[in-house]
Amino acid sequence: MQHSSNLIIYGVTGNLAKLKIIPALYDLFSHGKLSDTSLIIGIGRKAYDHAGFCEYIDSVISEYAQKNQIVLETSTLSKLHQNLRYISGDVSNPQLYQQLNEMLSADSAHPNTIFYLATYPSLYQEIFKQLKQSGLNTNSRGWVRVLIEKPIGSDLCSAKDLNELMSQYFTQEQIYRLDHYLGKETLQNILYFRFGNSIFEPIFNKEYVDHIQITSSESFGIGQRGMYYDNVGALKDVGQNHLLQMLTLVTMDAPKAMTNEAITLERMKVLTHLQPDLASLVLGQYEGYLQEENVNPLSVTNTFFALKTEVTTDRFKGVPIYLRAGKMMDRTVAEISVVFKKPTNQLFKKFDAEEAENILTFRIQPDEGIALRFLSKKPGHNTVLQSGSMEFCYKSISERLLNPYETLIDDALSGNQTFFNDAEEVEAQWQFIDPFVAAKIRPLAYKAGTLGPAEANTLIEKDGRTWLAASEFFCKI
């Protein structure tokens, strides 16, 4: 479906727009998702004329293409140039909105508009106020939507305040709270894999599942994000959102329909039945963090966390779920592993067999795919059982997966809120994570290139389990 809509981007010269949004715009035009007359209006403080703004956009897209080995299409760039507009100014200045209104009235062939706030949350209130005063937050001829990025608040109280603020200017149908993890192909595929096949769903429950592990590790540090990250830490940066999104999709019950309302209802059921184990929390900080740029030399910000929880629904009550995430770890990987119980029968007791559980793994990144570990007989005269795997790898069917931002912007243009968070969901996530943050545990030092503090191993080993090592050979085609 091709969209005939206008997209106004606040903070278009900022880091988020540079890394995520502008490349997604190129992909949307390249894949024919935006019409030739859809305006892309950037708003920023830097002074650009049209040629200068196009040059900036080209430099961002060229860097993106080089990094991802994409051959740029000159026709797509030309189309993008024709649709680009730029307004420089202070977002609190009414003249900026008058200029924006005039630009839309003069140049736009479409009444539909999305406002994408790729800027600091502290500016939201002023932007919303100015949009209302200028009449841009409503449109009698078409629709108006607003896109904002996680984090939505910094705790439950601030999240409620922000949700209340937005409700003063927009209806819930207009608000799209974006967490790019929900745009990742493998994460979305969990729904279709589980509920579209009759093979696994009957055993996704406490009778068959021993435990679940969710890991999001990065082999790099905070980079240039010190000013932001030192006020947030890993627990808030990815624990409150990314890992909980992974958890809800793998443990939710089947929705009654593939609609936003039905799917959100089941995700909410999981979040409201999450039992935090505060005593399980382990926090870490990688050695060298205190020397990073814009980091307080006395900082106690966590760059790693591990914790245990449980979903007390009928389906998974009693099944432990272990979460961990961190920076400067041994490798970059994000995955969910559902570990099934070992068979209680003694059928193969007299044969040599590996002590290996059946494990179903959803690899979110990199080398995206789904793998199942199982036991089979090793070829030969003797009966020896060994573990093997069956894999579904995206590389085998697609050269390149869609950019999650492209997917979610396309959904917002379509009016599909399924893979966005509503207000209640965001607040439920904070309600779960806030007690862990309030625990005020001092982070333990860990060396770069490791799996985090040794105490994280103790957390799971005292239950008679171990952290799974991410396979380096997963979907290596």
127-148 pLDDT tens trace:
999 999 998 888 777 899 999 9
- What CATH number corresponds to the domain at position 228? 3.30.360.10
pLDDT, residue 256, reads 94
Shared domain check, 344 and 205: yes
Residue 169 lies in a domain: no
Shared domain check, 204 and 109: no
Shared domain check, 372 and 262: yes
Shared domain check, 364 and 290: yes
Shared domain check, 302 and 346: yes
Residue 167 lies in a domain: no
Distance CA 431, CA 278 (A): 13
Q: How many domains does the chain have?
A: 2
Shared domain check, 189 and 133: no
**Full domain range(s) for residue 26:** 6-149
Residue 317 lies in a domain: yes
Shared domain check, 304 and 390: yes
Residue 28 lies in a domain: yes
Shared domain check, 206 and 337: yes
pLDDT, residue 58, reads 93
Distance between terminal CA atoms of the chain?
Answer: 32
Distance CA 305, CA 325 (A): 6
Residue 261 lies in a domain: yes
Shared domain check, 431 and 367: yes
Distance CA 421, CA 415 (A): 14
> Which residues are the active-site residues?
242
Shared domain check, 349 and 216: yes
Residue 109 lies in a domain: yes
Burial class (CB in 10 A: 0-12, 13-18, 19+), 122: exposed
Local confidence pLDDT in tens for the 477 residues of the chain: 777 789 999 999 988 999 999 999 999 998 889 888 889 999 999 999 999 999 999 999 999 988 888 888 888 888 889 899 999 999 999 999 999 988 888 777 778 999 999 998 889 999 999 999 998 888 777 899 999 998 899 999 999 999 999 999 999 999 999 999 999 999 999 999 999 999 988 999 999 999 999 999 999 999 888 888 999 999 999 999 999 999 999 999 999 999 999 999 999 999 999 999 999 999 999 999 999 999 999 999 999 999 999 999 999 999 999 999 999 999 999 999 999 998 776 666 666 665 678 899 999 989 899 999 887 778 888 777 777 788 999 988 877 888 999 999 999 999 999 999 999 999 999 999 999 999 989 999 999 999 999 999 999 999 999 999 887 778 875
Residue 474 lies in a domain: no
Residue 141 lies in a domain: yes
Shared domain check, 230 and 89: no
Shared domain check, 127 and 44: yes
